[in-house]
């Protein structure tokens, strides 16, 4: 089910809120879990079984990690304080990792693996199997998100950063919670473990949640969806002009930002409505001055997850320059692959890895130079921000393109080497439609001039802000009926 769909907004959400607040506090996790299964199973009921499998696996592994240890005085399960782990605990963690990564690997990367194998064998002149002979796997929605989330539970318990959970309902609620189930923010267990058992429900939180949800819905429906047409057009075009290619790439940069940050705002808003407080996922990413800065602001929950559970365990930047470079590159490549099983994502991750390394080198050499004056510092930051945005747009091209060939075609057009023919003017005409240009301008104004952090915007609510939010909500609802339903971009990851 999509947040910006008729059925979610007008049927699922009001009924869920009604049900949630109608039951006593101790039953609310059960209600939330059950409605989350309905939410998730709506697209494909069978996928719920997969989620149940992942949930039960980690719940049992979590219990195994603390089994045999004395309980805390308050009756809760103990925190693993000692630095030594027994063989059983290590096995339990391995079991959780293998199970979750196995599920993710099979459902997300099987088809890609087969395809690569097939292409390789074809190029070598061998014919191992024909298309259609091999199993084709359907990708379950949001599997990358909930497996990471579920896995973080066992890792946190193993590391002694969180207590294991006793109630299977509470744990199922953590994994399945519908507001952030399909596209994050990726919750880390130690961030929400307390909220699962005790959280604040108040009119104030509800108000904040409503405003944040409305802002997110407006981002998605009024801006991101409005940009999808020129983006689709340019990324399918065979001979776009340089200006159309850049407009298409910038439109995509805005579309994915407003789509994903819109989703995250809606998730955060729904969380507040249900008493939770989720972490923010974006912090004005296109105002970043440098790629490292960009990654501190873009999809923060994934960056944080990869940093804490992959980069730092690999040694981070503590083991010398070469090892740091390797760790960075590996994390970015895996981050790219996490997004999707295709060469385009790997290239995207690889590009970011290489650019981050270059940036590290450049920054290292600049440290020895004199600091800038305030004026030149301001100009430098402006140039850095513009340069970073340009680079990010270039790297978004392989991310969005359907194939490496298409990516190459668009990149060469952006750099002025593209082929042009009679269809070029049609691409130009579509991209430069007043409506599309208007959407781009609105996007640009919001990205660079308006407040970006919805969390901050709704933290100090005034009458004017509430009116803006409610008006945006109603406008978005009307707009929804004028367009085809478009799922969130990150749903496919």
Partner 1 sequence: MNTATEQQSRLSVWEAPRLCTWLALSGFFLAIAGVPVLQLICDWRDGGPAGVGVPQVLGIRDALAIVPELYRDSEGTIVERALLVNQELQSGLQDYEAGLGEFTWLRHPARPLQHMLSLAFRRGSEQVLEGPGGWLFLMSELQSLTAGPIREFAGRRDPGTGRAVADVVRDPLPAIVQFQRLLRQQGVTLLLVPIPAKAAVHVTSLTAEAAGAGERADERVVELLRELAERGVWVVDLLPELQRAGDPESWYCRSDTHLNGDGIGRLAEVLAAELVGRGLCEPRAGVPLSVESREVELTGDLARMLDPKTDRRELVRLDFVTDPQTGAAPPGAAAAAIFPQPPILLLGDSHVLVYDADDLHAVGAGLPQQLARHLDTAIETLGVRGSGGTGARLQLLQMPDRLSSLRVVVWCFAARELTESAEGWPVVNETIGQDGR
According to CB under 8 A, which one of 23, 25, 45, 445 is a site residue for partner 1? 45
Q: Let me know: does 181 contact 146? Beta carbons within 8 Å.
A: yes
Pick the catalytic residue from 6, 201, 339, 352: 339
* Residue ranges in 367-462 assigned as alpha helix (H): 374-400, 404-414, 424-431, 434-448, 454-459
Q: Kindly report whether the peptide bond that precedes residue 185 is cis, defined as omega within 30 degrees of 0.
A: yes
462, HSE (Cβ side, Cα atoms, 13 Å): 3
Measured CA to CA, the distance from residue 309 to residue 101 in angstroms comes to 13
Residue that the structure tokens 């390789």 belong to: 120
Q: Rank residues 21 and 326 by Cβ distance to partner 1 and give the closer one.
A: 21
List the one residue from 62, 469, 488, 490 that touches partner 1 (CB under 8 A).
Answer: 469
243 binds partner 1 (CB under 8 A): no
Nearest-angstrom CA–CA distance, 105 and 352: 23
Angstrom distance (rounded) from CA 180 to CA 315: 30
Only one of the segments 9-17, 80-88, 307-315, 375-383 lies at the binding site for partner 1 (rule: CB under 8 A); that segment is 9-17
The answer to whether residue 86 forms part of the interface with partner 1 (CB under 8 A) is: no
Smallest separation (angstroms) from partner 1 to the CB of 382: 29
The contact mask relative to partner 1 for 248-277 (x = CB under 8 A, - = no) is -----------------------------x
Among 334, 461, 487, 491, binds partner 1 (CB under 8 A): 461
Residue 72 is a binding residue for partner 1 (CB under 8 A): no
352 is catalytic: no
Stretch that binds partner 1, among 149-157, 323-331, 347-355, 422-430 (CB under 8 A): 422-430
Pick the piece of the chain touching partner 1 (CB under 8 A) from 255-263, 305-313, 332-340, 475-483: 475-483
Q: Which of 330, 394, 324, 392 is nearest to 360 (CA)?
A: 324
Q: Residue 482, interface with partner 1 (CB under 8 A)?
A: yes
Question: Which range in 60-68, 77-85, 188-196, 364-372 contacts partner 1 by CB under 8 A?
Answer: 188-196
Q: Tell me how far apart the alpha carbons of residues 417 and 427 are, in angstroms, rounded to a whole number.
A: 17
Site size toward partner 1 (CB under 8 A) is 77
Closest by alpha carbon to 309, among 470, 188, 400? 188
Instruction: Give the per-residue contact string, 135-174, with partner 1 (x = CB under 8 A; - = no).
Output: ----------------------------------------
Using the minimum distance from each CB to partner 1, give the nearer residue, 226 or 285.
Answer: 226
Measured CA to CA, the distance from residue 339 to residue 337 in angstroms comes to: 5
Nearer to partner 1, 91 or 236 (CB): 236
Helix (H) or strand (E) holding 110: helix 87-123
From CA 350, how far away is CA 348, in angstroms rounded?
5
Q: In this chain, which of 58, 156, 191, 259 binds partner 1, going by CB under 8 A? A: 191
């Amino acid at each position: 089910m999509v947040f910006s769909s008729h059925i979610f907004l007008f049927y699922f959400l009001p009924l869920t809120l009604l049900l949630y607040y109608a039951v006593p506090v101790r039953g609310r996790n059960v209600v939330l879990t059950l409605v989350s299964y309905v939410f998730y199973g709506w697209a494909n009921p069978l996928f719920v079984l997969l989620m149940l499998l992942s949930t039960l696996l980690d719940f049992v592994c979590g219990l195994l990690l603390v089994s045999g240890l004395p309980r805390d005085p308050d009756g809760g399960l103990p925190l693993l304080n000692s630095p030594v782990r027994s063989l059983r605990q290590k096995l339990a963690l391995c079991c959780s990792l293998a199970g979750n990564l196995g599920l993710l690997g099979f459902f997300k990367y099987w088809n890609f693996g087969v395809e690569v194998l097939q292409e390789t064998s074809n190029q070598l002149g061998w014919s191992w199997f024909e298309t259609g002979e091999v199993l084709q796997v359907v990708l379950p929605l949001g599997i990358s998100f909930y497996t990471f989330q579920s896995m973080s539970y066992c890792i946190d318990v193993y590391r002694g950063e969180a207590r294991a959970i006793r109630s299977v309902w509470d744990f199922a609620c953590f994994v399945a919670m519908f507001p952030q189930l399909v596209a994050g923010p990726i919750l880390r267990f130690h961030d929400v473990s307390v909220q699962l058992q005790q959280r604040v429900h108040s009119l104030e939180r509800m108000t904040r949640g409503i405003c944040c949800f409305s802002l997110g819905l407006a981002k998605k429906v009024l801006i991101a969806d409005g940009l999808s047409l020129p983006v689709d057009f340019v990324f399918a075009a065979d001979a776009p002009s340089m200006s159309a290619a850049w407009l298409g790439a910038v439109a995509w940069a805005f579309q994915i930002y407003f789509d994903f940050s819109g989703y995250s705002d809606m998730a955060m808003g729904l969380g507040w409505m249900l008493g939770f407080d989720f972490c923010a996922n974006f912090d004005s990413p296109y105002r970043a001055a440098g790629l490292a800065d960009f990654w501190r602001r873009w999809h923060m929950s994934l960056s944080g997850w990869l940093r804490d559970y992959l980069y730092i365990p690999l040694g981070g930047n503590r083991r010398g320059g070469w090892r740091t470079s390797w760790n960075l590159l590996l994390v970015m490549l895996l981050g790219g692959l996490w997004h999707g099983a295709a060469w385009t994502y790997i290239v995207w991750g690889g590009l970011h890895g290489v650019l981050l390394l270059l940036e590290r080198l450049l920054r290292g050499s600049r440290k020895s130079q004199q600091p800038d004056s305030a004026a030149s510092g301001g100009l430098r930051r402006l140039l850095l921000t513009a340069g970073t945005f340009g680079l990010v747009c270039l790297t978004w091209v392989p991310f969005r393109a359907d194939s490496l060939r298409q990516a190459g075609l668009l990149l060469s057009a952006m750099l002025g080497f593209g082929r042009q023919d009679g269809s070029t003017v049609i691409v130009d005409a579509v991209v430069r439609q007043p409506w599309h240009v208007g959407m781009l301008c609105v996007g640009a104004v919001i990205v660079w001039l308006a407040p970006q952090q919805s969390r901050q915007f709704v933290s100090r609510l005034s009458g004017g802000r509430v009116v803006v939010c409610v008006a945006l909500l109603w406008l978005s609802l009307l707009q929804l009926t004028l367009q085809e339903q478009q799922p969130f971009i990150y749903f496919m990851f």
